[in-house]
Amino acid sequence: MAKIKFVGKEIFKFFSSLELTLAALSALALLVFLCTLGEVQLGVYDSVKIHFNSWFLYSRPILGGYHIPLFPAGKLVGIVLILNLLFAHFKRFTLSYKKIGLWLTHFGLIILFVGQFLSGSFSRESQMTIKENSSKNYSEDPRHSELDLIDATNPKTDTVYSIPQKLLKPGQVISLPNQITLKIKHYALNAAVDIRKNNDAAFPDYSLIQGPGKNLEIIDMPLSHDDNQPNMPATLVQVSDHGKVLGNWQMSEIIPLPQGIPVKGKNLYIILRPKRYYFPFSLFLKKFTHKIYPDTTIPSRFSSLIHINDPAAPAENRNTLISMNHPLRFQGLTFYQASYAQNNTVSILQVVRNPSWTIPYISSFLVALGLIFHFLMRLKQAKFLS
């Protein structure tokens, strides 16, 4: 029992130590520095993902493809800082109204770290591209793809079977409920498309390729880390119906067109496209407005007049204007005016789902309130002593 108490005291002493605070803050500063340097080669998204949305920074593949953790990344450093704040709080501060300012300040900092952890783990960004006088009930993730098999046999509704990107590995076999089997023969995270010139190419087997893809050649390319030039995945898929091989289908996100699969009594299509997030409501773009400063091409204002159509809640149906600094918040999603295309007839909205978006505001309020309260208490104490 005494040994357990001793170990407990040592653990409490370690996590409440000032040395751990300084080490964690130093590690955080180093991560910020490394992340900034990494943006040159990796881009903002990948650099932040590696340095702050991971538990460790890993080495290059060694020892048969294994990665060795080299340094704690943002998630681990954040957890350590939260534990350090909690343990130090209970070690150094007493329950007294004179210390309430410090309690509120530290509690606000703890909430801030927790909010950042939740945001990095559960937030999601995607894009919605809408043409004028049309509606859409989904957004797309430009950084992740999915392989979709679309069953359009029913004239009223389509049944979509979505296979996420993490399953698109060579040799992976996916069996679907409609007795269709997909075998991934090749997958590239980034690839270029060219007109096929060599009819005797060894790989992939062009003699079995069906549909428009048989005239194309998929060329694997290095991964792009440029935020303005996203990767374009491509894949070669073998399709079977009740165990009978129907052929191979070659697809790329560069050519986002569904390809038909000949199955008797069914209307089946297959497509490789950005991952979709469907909503229980739709947005209709009534008008897109784009204004520029006089005698320049610099946009001064662009906005989208949107009509919300929610079948489950007709009272929520209304017109709303989304502009550069005035987003739409609806059902846990935030729609920002991001860009435009096709001669100002297409609006591009950035769609953000962040369940913890209010936490930074709560944290800032608590920290400010704590500092004000602490200042007033110290001022009162100084007047008393004088």
pLDDT in tens, 89-131: 777 767 777 778 888 888 888 888 888 888 888 889 999 999 9
330: nearest Cα among 345, 319, 341, 340:
319
Q: What is the pLDDT of residue 206?
A: 58
Q: What is the pLDDT of residue 386?
A: 63
Q: Cα dihedral sign for 193, 196, 197, 203? A: positive
Q: What is the pLDDT of residue 385?
A: 66
Q: Is the peptide bond before 233 cis (omega within 30 degrees of 0)?
A: no
The per-residue pLDDT string of the chain (386 residues; one tens digit each, 9 = 90 and over) reads 677 777 788 888 888 888 999 999 999 999 999 999 988 888 888 888 889 888 999 887 776 667 888 899 988 998 898 888 888 877 776 777 777 888 888 888 888 888 888 888 888 999 999 999 999 999 999 889 999 999 998 888 889 999 999 999 999 999 998 889 999 999 999 998 887 776 545 445 556 788 888 778 888 899 888 777 888 999 999 999 988 999 899 999 888 789 999 888 889 999 999 999 999 999 999 999 888 888 777 777 889 999 999 999 888 899 999 998 899 999 999 999 998 888 888 999 999 999 888 899 999 999 999 999 888 888 877 776 66
Q: How far apart are CA 117 and CA 106, in angstroms?
A: 17
At residue 217's C-alpha, the angle toward residues 215 and 221, to 5°, is 160
Q: What is the pLDDT of residue 9?
A: 83
Q: How far apart are CA 21 and CA 283, in angstroms?
A: 48
Torsion-angle region of 206 (φ positive above 0: left; ψ -120 to 50: alpha; else: beta): alpha
The token duo for 146 is 């999915």
Q: Which are the contacts of 171, defined by CB distance < 8 A and separation ≥ 6?
A: 183, 184
Beta-strand relationship, 346-353 and 333-341: antiparallel
Q: Cα dihedral sign for 292, 298, 300, 304? A: positive
**What 8-state DSSP symbol labels residue 169?**
-
Q: What is the pLDDT of residue 56?
A: 92
In the chain, DSSP assigns E strands to 56-58, 69-72, 124-131, 134-151, 159-164, 173-175, 180-188, 191-195, 209-210, 216-220, 234-241, 244-252, 259-263, 266-292, 299-309, 318-323, 328-330, 333-341, 346-353
Backbone angles phi, psi at 334, to 5 degrees: -120, 125
